[in-house]
């Protein structure tokens, strides 16, 4: 069975009209009709979105019963945990240099106790701070590293204000959260509007704003000589991680609890729990 016939069968099995499917995809009902009658084929960029409408993979949309086996990058997946362990070890050394007590199970036991405490107390942080050489801050979910002396001049650029303004919008964060959960899927504004329960206009504006700050990139896909649809995809991991760190740090600031497992800084700023 061809992909056009598959789309027709899937649409009908879900009780959808051509108009309803077209609205979700952000295309014309004529385009749906042409696909199902095998006059034209959907653009390859639209296939993941079409598959998403039916909660299946592109392979399944083509009628494949055996999805391709996913590669498993074991070493790559272990890197975050390795870095977290290293951060805990550095903080453990800093704490010991500051005169912290070691638990009965020794140094390794102390590291595990720190990790357990952070995991069980979501508000808690552990940190080392130096006015000369930077800072390391860690929770059970996030690790932040700043090298070098703090420079307030870095905070005054107009571009920073624009990024924070954009990220302050609820629709932007909801769409970004959806994209993070579905990283390999390009989306259209009508499609993600339904997924995030917001209006199509809100979705279109939010996607353009995410593109402005380089989280997304957009591509106009031609359906025929007179019609096109705009597709959005996440940019590289670099931008993704920048935004995740900004938003997670903002969440910590919003919770605003001075709840540290240990803190090593100037002598007039020392908290311990």
- Summarize pLDDT for 42-86 with one digit per residue, the tens: 888 888 888 888 888 888 888 765 444 444 454 767 777 777 777
Least-confidence region, from 26-35, 156-165, 190-199, 211-220: 156-165
Task: Assess whether 128 and 257 both reside in one domain.
Answer: yes
8 A C-beta contact, residue 236 and residue 41: no
Q: Is residue 215 part of a domain?
A: yes
Task: Assess whether 123 and 178 both reside in one domain.
Answer: no
> In the prediction, which pLDDT does 94 show?
60
> In the prediction, which pLDDT does 272 show?
39
188, pLDDT greater than 80: yes
Q: Which residue, 166, 177, 146, is CA-closest to 210?
A: 166
Task: Assess whether 150 and 257 both reside in one domain.
Answer: yes
Angle between helices 18-25 and 3-13 (to 10 degrees): 110
Task: Assess whether 147 and 161 both reside in one domain.
Answer: no
99, pLDDT greater than 60: no
Q: Look up the CATH number of the domain holding residue 220.
A: 1.10.10.10
Task: Assess whether 52 and 81 both reside in one domain.
Answer: no
Q: Is residue 33 part of a domain?
A: yes
> In the prediction, which pLDDT does 212 show?
95
Q: How many separate domains does the chain show?
A: 3
Residues 155-167 have a mean pLDDT of 86
The neighbouring-strand residues paired with 234 are: 216
Q: What is the dihedral of CA 136, 107, 83, 271, to 10 degrees?
A: -20
Task: Assess whether 51 and 79 both reside in one domain.
Answer: no
Give me the domain span that covers residue 204: 157-235
Task: Assess whether 132 and 259 both reside in one domain.
Answer: yes
């Amino acid at each position: 069975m061809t992909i056009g016939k598959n789309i027709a069968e899937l649409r009908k099995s879900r009780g959808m009209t051509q108009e309803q499917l077209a609205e979700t995809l952000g295309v014309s009902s004529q385009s749906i009709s042409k696909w199902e009658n095998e006059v034209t084929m959907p653009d390859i960029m639209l296939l993941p979105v079409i598959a998403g409408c039916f909660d299946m993979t592109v392979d399944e949309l083509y009628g494949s019963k055996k999805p391709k086996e996913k590669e498993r990058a074991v070493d790559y997946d272990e890197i975050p945990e390795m870095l977290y362990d290293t951060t805990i070890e550095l903080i453990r050394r800093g704490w010991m240099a500051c005169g912290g007590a070691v638990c009965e199970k020794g140094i390794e036991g102390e590291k595990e106790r720190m990790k357990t405490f952070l995991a069980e107390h979501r508000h808690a942080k552990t940190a080392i701070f130096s006015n000369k050489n930077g800072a390391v801050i860690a929770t059970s979910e996030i690790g932040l590293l700043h090298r070098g002396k703090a420079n307030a001049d870095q905070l005054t650029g107009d571009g920073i204000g624009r990024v924070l303004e954009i990220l302050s919008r609820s629709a932007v964060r909801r769409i970004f959260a959806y994209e993070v959960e579905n990283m390999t899927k390009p989306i259209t504004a009508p499609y993600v509007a339904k997924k995030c329960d917001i209006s199509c206009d809100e979705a279109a504006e939010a996607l353009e704003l995410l593109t402005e700050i380089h989280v997304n990139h957009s591509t106009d896909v031609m359906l025929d000589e007179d019609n096109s649809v705009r597709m959005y995809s996440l940019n590289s991991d670099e931008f993704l991680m920048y935004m995740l760190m900004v938003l997670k740090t903002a969440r910590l600031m919003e919770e605003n609890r001075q709840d540290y497992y240990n803190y090593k800084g100037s002598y007039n700023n020392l908290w311990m729990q």
